[in-house]
Amino acid sequence: MTETLATDDDREELDLLLRGFQVSRMLRLIADLGVADKIPTDGQVTVKDIAAACAVLPEPMLRVLRALAAFRIFEVTADGSVAHTPRSRLLRTDTLNSLHHAARFWTGPGSWGAWNKLDVAMTGGTPHEAAWSTGRFAYLKQHPDEARLFDAMMANFPDNRHAAVAAAYDFSGASLIADIGGGNGAALRQILARFSTPRGLVFDREDVITAVTSNDLMQGRITVQGGSFFDQVPCGADIYMLIRVLHDWPDEDCLRILRACRAAMGPQARLLLGEQILEPDPARGRATGYLIDVQMMTMFGDARARSEAEFRGLFDQSGFSLRQVIPTASPVSIIEAAPIAGPF
Ligand SMILES: C[S@@+](CC[C@H](N)C(=O)[O-])C[C@H]1O[C@@H](n2cnc3c(N)ncnc32)[C@H](O)[C@@H]1O
């Protein structure tokens, strides 16, 4: 086999990947300061004015914005005027499915500290625990600001999964949809906006539920309940959803969550998983899928993204049969399962 030599482009692209953390960290700074909202959508503003509005110095602000402009995030002219580009507009908080929260999240302290300890995963440890001496959700409970950022990031995730799930499945026949581990209810809001009959129930940890505001509840169509899906989940819904929940957990914990759902479900109820199904061949899969998989390893140790066969295996051990896999417009697929009889 002849060796394919690296081109100059390969060298430059690899160098940029090596420095990816620098870009990511600058984006967090810019998002923390709310810079994108201080630039008119279709106009210009001077760096001096942005710096004054952020109470920072103009020169370091210019240098950071210039570096980002080299990635087509903001446009910066030689005389120090700044305007938006399509990419930087995605960082505005008023953009539909804004990436503002994602920009603040990935290098936010909890995630950043855990990734710094990535090495420990290679010998079976959990980087997050090595960094913070506690599990991810306990950490979030102790750091409410980061926890609310996490909820906002989940509600506005770059994959736009909530709108995609609402568009890909017929929820019209359901009276009650329970979103288990549903965060602040973003998925239910998308679904109920499309389907007028169902009501929604968000079930999540107490501290997450306490932070849900009345504006989130669609004039009472959505109710909330706090608790742990390792104990029990509410009965009486027609559809139970677990969206990007199982990938946070190792198999034994997934089985506990699935069995708790199974125990709450009537024979006609349906379970919908919303998960990015892992494509075993990375040449065919999306890079974001493998990055999420490593994010799970970094935050939770044995947690991971799974293939369709692995989901089927979990269902076999928890009283479900897989009915269909429905692709959506986002990388997340809907995996529909029905309860089957028998002790689990
Ligand atoms: C990755 S987030 C997904 C949130 C939401 N389903 C979505 O798609 O945006 C996982 C969710 O599981 C919740 N969670 C974690 N442990 C839980 C537990 N023991 N009981 C209930 N919810 C829990 C978290 O608070 C979080 O909202």
Q: pLDDT value at position 164?
A: 97
- For atom 14 of ligand 1, the residue with the nearest CA is 181
Residue 32, pLDDT score? 98
pLDDT digits (tens, 9 = 90+) for 264-302: 999 999 999 999 999 999 999 999 999 999 999 999 999
What pLDDT is attached to residue 320? 98
pLDDT reported for residue 210: 96
Ligand 1 atom at shortest distance from the alpha carbon of 242: 6
**Hey, what CATH class is 153-339 in?**
alpha beta
| Alpha-helix runs per DSSP H in the chain | 8-18, 20-32, 47-54, 58-69, 86-89, 100-105, 109-115, 127-132, 136-142, 144-155, 161-168, 186-194, 206-210, 251-264, 287-300, 308-316
Q: How far is the CA of 179 from the centre of ligand 1 (A)?
A: 10
Read off the pLDDT band of 1 (50, 70, 90). Answer: low
Q: Tell me, in angstroms, the distance from the centre of ligand 1 to residue 243's CA.
A: 8
Gap between the Cα atoms of 129 and 110, Å rounded:
10
Q: Which single residue is written with the structure tokens 């899969």? A: 285
Q: Is the pLDDT of residue 187 over 70?
A: yes
Q: Is pLDDT at 23 greater than 80 in this prediction?
A: yes
pTM for the model stands at 0.90
Q: Is the pLDDT of residue 97 over 90?
A: no
* Residue with the two structure tokens 């908080």: 93
* Percent residues over pLDDT 70 in the chain: 99
Measured CA to CA, the distance from residue 315 to residue 319 in angstroms comes to: 6
- Give the integer Cα–Cα distance in Å for 195 and 197: 6
For domain 8-97, give the CATH number.
1.10.10.10
